Amino acid sequence: MEESYAVLMKNITKKFSSTVANYRVDFDLRKGEIHALLGENGAGKTTLMRILYGEIQPDEGEIFVWGKKTVVKSPSHALRLGISMVHQHFRLVDSLTVAEHLALCSSEVRFLSKRKIENLVAEYFKEYYLKVDLDAHIWQLSAGEKQKVEILKALIRGARILVLDEPTSSLTPLEVKDLFRVLHKLRNRGYAIVFISHKLGEVLEISDRITILRKGKKVATIPASEADPVTLAKLMVGDLPSPAKNTHTSPPGGEVLQVKSLYVKNDRGGIAVRGVSFSVRKGEIFGVIGVAGNGQRELAEAIAGLRKPVKGEIFFRGILVNGSGPRELARRGLAYIPEESFKTAVLPELTVAENSILRYYWRFTEKGFIKKTLVEKWAKSLIKEFDILAEGLHVKAKSLSGGNLQKLVIARELSSKPELLVAVNPTAGLDISASQRTREKLLEIKAQGSGVLLFTEDIDEALQICDRIAVIFKGSFKGLFSREEADVNKISLLMAGVDL
């Protein structure tokens, strides 16, 4: 066996009752390489890596770690073998500080002494650009900082093989650049890294080799230097879907949402939204485009009733709703797809059927009781319409792949016949076909008269489906374009903070 292989997985098969998540998959990871894993939602990427990390056992197949045949019994065993995995969902404890977190996972620092922790991480701070504020609480960190803590944790535990499952999904471009700098450095020092992502550009930029999975099977492993986005997309899905087009031209109706001089704070107490005013009409898709972290989340949360504005007014269907909670707004016809909805808008221990009515279960009650048959019928239709990969209606939501869970939230919210839908990056983390279907569905509900407020970081997406587009930068709107006058160059400059 060649020494340069950190990992060899041979003939891996894993079934979950009727689902074949991995079928005879071969995968190898070299020392000093970044190896990307690509594939549609539900293709089996996370499952393959959870097997390597010892979280689940394969039904068949062999694993060699550093040339030695090994049965990876558990994550703690994996850690002893030098394998660590950063999950699609962060698994950090919000109330702890960074230092406390790192102390917990270190075998050297049993008693929390800040000096000891500082010594422990000093090298990583310096060598690997992994600097984070040790005194900050986890809940105060941005997604990029949390990612760094996860990687630090892995390095402190002595990992040499790192698996990152969609690490960039909620990072700002700057944070992605930072992360890539860390990963390059680690690779050059001989670490072996698995990088899972749906973003083809990132995959081509960061990885040395790319393995593509399709419906549980391996399709190919190719050097990144020989790959391009179109080839990769074809390998993942076969034929490419044609893009959705906004052809609906009938004039939009009355205003369903009015926002006037709104100011909203972020979690750290700073002003995130600065005096924003706009309105969304029935039958239109209003796009807010910007680089992540410019106040989009806070603005969306304020409109959805999850964050109280500091100043300004929000009118929903003509009524001032500043103080209304999310439940009342939902009852009045507001649907909401938050950022990374598969983490925050589902209850993982409940079933797919239960999750499918989560925000409007009252519609399925009779004399105070939920009617099971109605719910089942409903859930079935959503699964079919949105092509959600699930073993059945009554499996727990947590058994779905990240992307399929997100599709469930999208299906639930889009199908609620909303007066207004607020969606934050709904297609991030979805594969090409699911992204496309989501855009088509947004156009469909618009044509049916719903207003849509779409937050997106993707210019192509905005140009494809929005009727009007506002650019958000540092909490303010920097420009408002109709679809006809929208111009990629202008929008890009405004997104970067250049005043035109």
Ligand X SMILES: Nc1ncnc2c1ncn2[C@@H]1O[C@H](COP(=O)(O)OP(=O)(O)OP(=O)(O)O)[C@@H](O)[C@H]1O
- What residues line the site for ligand X (CB under 6 A)? 16, 19, 21, 39, 41-47, 389, 391, 399-404
Q: Does 402 bind Mg ion (CB under 5 A)?
A: yes
Instruction: Write down the least CB distance from residue 61 to ligand X, Å.
Output: 15
Which of ligand X, Mg ion, none is residue 264 near (CB under 5 to 8 Å by kind)?
none
| Residues ≥6 apart with Cβ < 8 Å to 80 | none
Strand partners, 16: 19
Instruction: Write down the least CB distance from residue 91 to ligand X, Å.
Output: 16
Which of Mg ion, ligand X, none is residue 42 near (CB under 5 to 8 Å by kind)?
ligand X
Q: What is the dihedral of CA 320, 452, 287, 253, to 10 degrees?
A: -80
Q: Please, which residue, 160 or 441, has the CB nearer to ligand X?
A: 441
Pairing type for strands 451-456 and 420-424 reads parallel
Ranges of H-type helices in 140-223: 143-156, 173-188, 200-206
**Contact range with Mg ion by CB under 5 A, out of 130-138, 204-212, 254-262, 399-407:** 399-407
For 5-38, letters b (16+ CB in 10 Å) and e give bbbbbeebbbeeeebbbbbebebbbbbebbbbbb
Q: Does 435 bind Mg ion (CB under 5 A)?
A: no
Which of ligand X, Mg ion, none is residue 351 near (CB under 5 to 8 Å by kind)?
none
Task: State the number of binding residues for Mg ion (CB under 5 A).
Answer: 3
Q: Please, which residue, 57 or 482, has the CB nearer to ligand X?
A: 57
Q: Does 46 bind Mg ion (CB under 5 A)?
A: yes
Cα separation values, 339 from 246, 268, 454, Å? 24, 18, 11
Q: Please, which residue, 212 or 276, has the CB nearer to Mg ion?
A: 212
Identify the helix (H) or strand (E) that includes residue 231: helix 229-237
Which of ligand X, Mg ion, none is residue 404 near (CB under 5 to 8 Å by kind)?
ligand X
Structure tokens at 62: 């062999």
Instruction: Write down the least CB distance from residue 219 to ligand X, Å.
Output: 13
Which of ligand X, Mg ion, none is residue 438 near (CB under 5 to 8 Å by kind)?
none
Q: Exposure of 71 by Cβ count < 10 A (0-12 exposed, 13-18 middle, 19+ buried)? A: exposed
Q: Please, which residue, 356 or 401, has the CB nearer to Mg ion?
A: 401
Instruction: Write down the least CB distance from residue 67 to Mg ion, Å.
Output: 28
Q: Does 197 bind Mg ion (CB under 5 A)?
A: no
Question: Are 56 and 244 within 8 A, CB to CB?
Answer: no
Structure tokens at 483: 């679809």
Q: Exposure of 285 by Cβ count < 10 A (0-12 exposed, 13-18 middle, 19+ buried)? A: buried
Strand partners, 421: 335, 452
Among residues 166, 196, 149, 158, which one has the least CA distance to residue 76?
158
Question: Are 444 and 450 within 8 A, CB to CB?
Answer: no
**Contact range with Mg ion by CB under 5 A, out of 38-46, 63-71, 73-81, 215-223:** 38-46
User: What is the spatial distance between Cα 465 and Cα 289, in angstroms, rounded to a whole number?
Assistant: 12
Q: Please, which residue, 163 or 443, has the CB nearer to Mg ion?
A: 163
Which residues from 454-473 bind Mg ion, rule CB under 5 A?
Answer: none
Instruction: Write down the least CB distance from residue 403 to Mg ion, Å.
Output: 7
Instruction: Write down the least CB distance from residue 43 to Mg ion, Å.
Output: 8
Instruction: Write down the least CB distance from residue 44 to Mg ion, Å.
Output: 9
Q: Please, which residue, 407 or 483, has the CB nearer to Mg ion?
A: 407
Which of Mg ion, ligand X, none is residue 47 near (CB under 5 to 8 Å by kind)?
ligand X
Q: Please, which residue, 44 or 293, has the CB nearer to ligand X?
A: 44
* List of residues contacting Mg ion (CB under 5 A): 46, 401-402
